[in-house]
Structures are given as C-alpha cells and as structure tokens.
Amino acid sequence: MKNPRHKDLKGKVVVVTGGGGILCSTIALGLAEQGAKLAVLDLKKEPAEVVAEQINKAGGEAIAVQADVLNQESLQTACDAVTAHFGACDILVNGAGGNHPSGTTSNPHLHEDDLKNAIEGVKTFFDLDIGAIQFVFNLNFIGTLLPTQIFSRGMVGRTGCSVLNISSMNAFIPLTKIPAYSGAKAAVSNFTQWLAVHFSKVGIRVNALAPGFFLTDQNRTLLTKENGELTQRGKTIIDQTPMGCFGEPEDLVGTTLWLCSDQSKFVTGIVVPIDGGFSAFSGV
C-alpha cells in the first residue's frame, strides 16, 4: 500500500455495499490505500472476493461478505461477520444501486401518435411496469436505508464515524427516460440531509456523492456502441458535460477520502457533484 495521506483513516473499519462493482470497488481500493480495513459487501460474493483479494495482495486488509441490501436478516448476518472479524463499523459507504429497463421509457418525450399508433416494444410512461419501478426505488433508497439501520447502530456515541451515500446527477435534474432511477436517487439525497440532522447529536456524519456520467457495466451499452463510438444518448451527455468526457472511477476517490476523514469533521448533510460541470451547465 502507498503512504497514506489521510492517516486518521488507518485502522478504520469500512463497509462498502455494492463493493464488487466498478465504481465502489475503486472506492474500496482507495480507502484501503489509506490503511482502512475493508468489508466488501455484494449481493454476489464472487465479485466481492475479487476486490478483497486485490486489496489483500496489495498489503491491505479486506474481507468479502455476501449481503442483500433489501434483506434485514442478510444485512444483520453480514454485520455480525464484519464485527467478529474487524470490530464495529466506523464508516459505511452505501454503494449498492441500479436501474431496470422496464422502469425506463423508450423515448424522452410523449407524443399523441405514440398512443394512437402504438408500436410493439416501445414503452411510454403509461407502459412502465410498477414492479420494476418499485424494484428500482427499493434498491436505491431502501437499499441505502436498511444497511444504515444495521451498520450505524454501532457507531452511536463513538468518534470519527460517518455514512457516505451514493446519489446521482439525476437527483438534481432528472434525466429523460429514467423516472424511477431519478426519483430514487432524489430520495437518497433527501434522506442524506434528513439523516445528517437526525444523527447530529450522536457523532455520526452523513454525506453523499453525486456522480455524473461514468461508464459502468450497467450503462455501457446505452452510452457506447460495440465499436466504442458514442450512441446518440452518449453524445448528448458529452455535449452537456463542459469537461467533454466521462468520469473515471478514480475521480470519486478524492472526495470520498475527504468526506470520510477528519478533514471534513465539520461537514455533514451535503451532496457533492462529481460530474465534470454537468450540473453547472444550462446547455446554452
């Protein structure tokens, strides 16, 4: 491991949900480089094991734990395993989340002809599947609330503890076509502020990252073609991003370290855009 810049993170027990994914695995690696002890949680244990092994091979300390962020019993079992191995959780990163195609419209705008001349496979707002919408909302919002209930209980009354949620640009201004995901991430941002106030007297800080556009396994086919060129949606996003590029997973690490370390000990209840200027640009 490299020489840590945030020495107060050394020895901290950090739990990262969704830790097997591209973005959260990078966050986990960044925290491990500071000497934190990582519990990498994921619905599927195999990707979590890959990340934990990478950390351990680099000289850090990590374990992989299977956990379903929508199941209290599963989360409690995971919490017991983390506590038995490392001790109580100091920092929780709520990284699990995602979208569902059945909660997504086919087109950005509704036109009368869409209803008069319905085309098979083309979904309007009226065709959205309520089950998919509930899944997206639950995964992103309830999947943030439940792990916090389980892992933050042991933080109460201790020093240097915090929760870091993962919101999105969609929470500020909803993107076209993805109402379920946008609404769920808006709920995460609101919950971050609410919980920061609620926990303010017991020594737990609560903040969130709001990533802009990063290429991940979930959105790669939406934003790029097989030959690597941008899709029309990908081009629109780049045109609306002043820095003119997608984010790299490593771009999330610096803000994560700041919000999790004592350098931000008087910071709570904020949602930080990491978006290449997307949220600052009017399009004109």
The residues annotated with a catalytic role in the active site are 181
DSSP 10: T
Spatial CB neighbours of 158, under 8 Å, sequence gap ≥ 6 = 88, 90, 203
Check: CB of residue 237 under 8 Å from CB of residue 243: no
* 204-211 vs 271-274, strand pairing mode: parallel
Q: Compute the Cα dihedral for 229, 233, 239, 244 and give only its sign.
A: negative
| CB 10 within 8 Å of CB 36 | yes
Specify the residue for token string 């109580």.
88
Contact assessment for residue 98 and residue 139, using Cβ atoms and an 8 Å cutoff: yes
In order, the DSSP letters of 254-273 are HHHHHHHSGGGTT--S-EEE
The helix or strand, by DSSP H or E, that contains position 32, with its residue range, turns out to be helix 22-32
**Secondary structure (DSSP) of 202-237:** TTEEEEEEEE--B--TTTHHHHB-TTS-B-HHHHHH
Please tell me what DSSP assigns to residue 159: S
